[in-house]
A and B are shown apart, each in its own frame.
Chain A
Amino acid sequence: EAEVAQSPRYKITEKSQAVAFWCDPISGHATLYWYRQILGQGPELLVQFQDESVVDDSQLPKDRFSAERLKGVDSTLKIQPAELGDSAMYLCASSPGQGAEAFFGQGTRLTVV
């Protein structure tokens, strides 16, 4: 069964350091999402890609967060510098197209110390 792959599964980093997460969507899925899920809350969209183009990054803290999907396949989310409040689960999801069902990966649990 096809899955959304994310790495690493867990990451501990010191504040002010840079950190990056990687996502490989299900093959053929044109839409890719990055969500942040703070413990005890629902996921919140950070950025949405359609192929290699950003569709929605209105909730992405652009002073420290960046995301790219250069070839329209896998994607990287970067935080620099990390802050204590960035501790959360970072979820990647993909779908065949906008409006279709989204499939989530297992996430990257980030702890900033």
Chain B
Amino acid sequence: QQQVKQSPQSLIVQKGGISIINCAYENTAFDYFPWYQQFPGKGPALLIAIRPDVSEKKEGRFTISFNKSAKQFSLHIMDSQPGDSATYFCAARGGTASKLTFGTGTRLQVTL
């Protein structure tokens, strides 16, 4: 049972453009929503995370938008750069003791 649905599966953006990746969840007990960035041959690295008490969080060029009523959250990468080319995973967790449930990933390619 997939509890976190992620789209699109792949994304091509021109340098300087905005990359948008969307996730939707079903479990209302989820209270922590991180995004991970993974380069080939490496483990995932935490990029940015949000809790449902805020609707938006921004760190540099990366912004999470959160819609609690729709049970959706998204990652926006502003001024996308070729170095941002990687696979991005959204995830969700409910409570401090529970596991992270990951989305299926979005492969982002930023072209020159």
Residues of A within 8 A of B (CB): 4, 33, 40-45, 48, 55-56, 91, 93, 97-99, 101-107, 109
A-binding segment of B55-63, B75-83, B97-105: B97-105
Chain B residue with Cβ nearest A33: B99
Q: Which of B10-25 contact A (CB under 8 A)?
A: none
Which applies to chain B's interface (DSSP): helix, strand, loop or mixed?
A: loop
Residues of B within 8 A of A (CB): 4, 6, 32, 34, 41-46, 49, 89, 91, 93, 95-100, 102-105
> Which residues of chain B come closer than 8 Å to A102, judged between CB atoms?
46, 100
B41, A106: Cβ atoms closer than 8 Å:
yes
Which applies to chain A's interface (DSSP): helix, strand, loop or mixed?
A: loop
Chain A residue with Cβ nearest B42: A106
B97, A99: Cβ atoms closer than 8 Å:
yes
| Assembled-state Cα–Cα distance A7/B7 (Å) | 33
With A91-B43, A106-B41, A107-B43 already in contact, the answer to whether A48 and B102 are too (CB < 8 A) is: no
| Assembled-state Cα–Cα distance A43/B103 (Å) | 8
| Assembled-state Cα–Cα distance A26/B4 (Å) | 28
